[in-house]
Structure 1
Amino acid sequence: SERFHSPADWKPTHRRHFCGQLLSVNPSIAKWLPGLFCLNERAVYLGHWDHGFFSYTAVGATNVGTVKVYFDKTLQTNLHKKSHRCKEVCLGNAVDLKKGDPMGEFRMGSTIVLIFEAPIHFNFNIFPGDKVKMGQGLGCVDHQKFVYRIDKDKSDSKTAS
């Protein structure tokens, strides 16, 4: 299994679970099939951080329909795609994540999509296609690292997109 961690201090307040396909998220497939990440099953966590809106999406892929999120015991993935189109759950204010906190895991690995508001002084440290190593900063806000952590059976890299 591949674990995923919180990339920043933030508070998820809602979850939207979209049943969908389980297509490959290989970068060559993603280039060929526009909207791939909107077709696949995904669990979208919406909330906020110090700089505004923050969204963290775990996207399923081929053979990876099972997504487990530690703080969300009601999430059930890999269900028949007709069971519901989109299910929204209010998480309230119970979850407060810190940078590096374990969030969950994929059965075999997949993709995380981050969408967030950032201050004008935010600078990315990576480029599309770069390998992101565990603990590496994706960008900086006032010289503080914004970290995306990955643990995968002793592997330490992942492609950024």
Structure 2
Amino acid sequence: MTERIPDSDNVTLGDRLFAGLQYVLPKHLLSRLIYSVMRTESPALRRLIIANFLRGYDVNMTEAVQSDPFAYRSFNDFFTRALRPDARPIAAGDDVVVSPVDGTLSQCGAIRDGQLLQAKGHDYSLLELLANDTAAAATYRNGSFACIYLAPYNYHRIHMPVAGTARSTVYVPGDLFSVNTATARTVPRLFARNERVICDFDTAFGRAAMILVGALFVGSMATVHCGEINPPPRRRKAPVTIDKGIGHPFAKGEELGRFNMGSTVVMLFQQDRIRWEPALAPQRKVVLGATIAQAIARS
């Protein structure tokens, strides 16, 4: 391990050991293996994996379109299951920003001096998060951000927080550290170093970005307008702009994509376009469709 884990009152010995292990694990190889296993349609193996998952996590299957967990063709189909249309009402109002996922808020606030808060004691760079795209970084400089973590038991489809039109999609190769709270406290620049997909939109609130961050065992992310984006047959060393889906319109609350295993979404808005709800705070649970911000009236 060549990188020092930050000192912090919040970092435990367990955090340090978990982070240290991740530095030496063959994370991409493990993720490719999990990718294959999670898609097996072997009835016995599929049932075994799903049954063990249900024993470990409290999953509310009554919300799913298909409520029988063993009726899915594979664990991945079960994991990315669709919810009933009435399970997550979308808050109305053209000036309302809604949560794009079920999850836990890691951080939210203002982007200050080109830096986003990852955890107490360390930040990460907006420019690095946006794959060193200086024009994109200038667009969101001094804007607003929110980071939401999806645990394994959460619903794993991502929806639009506002209505928007797809402007660009960029796949950024990177590492595959876990994105849980312990790792966020210990691994510097976590969200700017992990593999990610940057989806940029034109909205009534100006530009907005949804950044889907990969993680340990998250070997695949997909969007509605671009299809499955990663992993490519051979992982790239440089960001790739995806030409598909430009101009695709999305309604607020419409499905944008999905994680094939748990991960994190980072949302970006331009300066003085939205105001986060006062009750939002780190470690607060958020629910798809619930109000998380209001648009700021512009003269």
TM range (shorter): 0.7 to 0.9
| Paired residue type of 2:170 | R
Q: Structure 2 regions of 5+ residues with no counterpart?
A: 1-79, 81-155
Residues 126-156 of structure 1 deviation map (CA, whole Å, 9 limit, x = unaligned): 122211023221112269xxxxxxxxxxxxx
Given candidates 244, 260, 271, the residue that maps to 1:107 is 260
1:67 aligns with 2:224: no
Q: 1:95: how far off? A: 0.9
Q: 1:33: how far off? A: 1.4
Residues 61-86 of structure 1 deviation map (CA, whole Å, 9 limit, x = unaligned): 1111200111113x531237752410
Taking the aligned partners of 1:53 and 1:97, their CA distance within structure 2 comes to 14
Taking the aligned partners of 1:80 and 1:32, their CA distance within structure 2 comes to 31
1:21 aligns with 2:175: yes
Describe the SS at the equivalent of 2:250: coil
- Sequence identity (%): 25
Taking the aligned partners of 2:234 and 2:263, their CA distance within structure 1 comes to 18
When residues 5 and 93 of structure 1 are mapped into structure 2, their CA distance, relative to the original with a 3 A threshold, is same
Taking the aligned partners of 2:262 and 2:286, their CA distance within structure 1 comes to 15
Equivalent residue, structure 1, for 2:192: 38
Q: 1:92: how far off? A: 6.8
TM-score, normalised relative to structure 2: 0.43
Superposed CA RMSD = 2.3
Compare relative contact order (CA 8 Å, sep 6+) and give the higher one, 1 or 2: 1
Q: Please state which structure has a larger fraction of its residues in strand.
A: 1
Q: Please state which structure has a larger fraction of its residues in helix.
A: 2
Residues 106-144 of structure 1 deviation map (CA, whole Å, 9 limit, x = unaligned): 11121111011254662334122211023221112269x
When residues 121 and 138 of structure 1 are mapped into structure 2, their CA distance, relative to the original with a 3 A threshold, is closer
1:98 aligns with 2:217: no
Comparing 90-99 with 126-135, greater Cα deviation is found at 90-99
When residues 20 and 58 of structure 1 are mapped into structure 2, their CA distance, relative to the original with a 3 A threshold, is same
TM-score, normalised relative to structure 1: 0.77
Describe the SS at the equivalent of 1:22: coil
Given candidates 127, 144, 160, the residue that maps to 2:281 is 127
Describe the SS at the equivalent of 1:13: strand
Taking the aligned partners of 1:112 and 1:60, their CA distance within structure 2 comes to 9
When residues 50 and 81 of structure 1 are mapped into structure 2, their CA distance, relative to the original with a 3 A threshold, is same
Given candidates 219, 232, 236, the residue that maps to 1:79 is 232
Describe the SS at the equivalent of 1:57: strand
Q: Is the 8 A contact 1:54 1:115 kept in 2?
A: yes
Describe the SS at the equivalent of 2:262: coil
| Paired residue type of 2:260 | R
Q: Is the 8 A contact 2:223 2:229 kept in 1?
A: no
Taking the aligned partners of 1:93 and 1:81, their CA distance within structure 2 comes to 24
Taking the aligned partners of 1:41 and 1:63, their CA distance within structure 2 comes to 12
Residues 21-67 of structure 1 deviation map (CA, whole Å, 9 limit, x = unaligned): 11100022112112111111110011221122211111111111200
Taking the aligned partners of 1:65 and 1:24, their CA distance within structure 2 comes to 12
Q: Which contiguous aligned blocks of 4+ residues in structure 1 show a shift greater than 6 angstroms? A: none
Q: Is the 8 A contact 1:52 1:118 kept in 2?
A: no
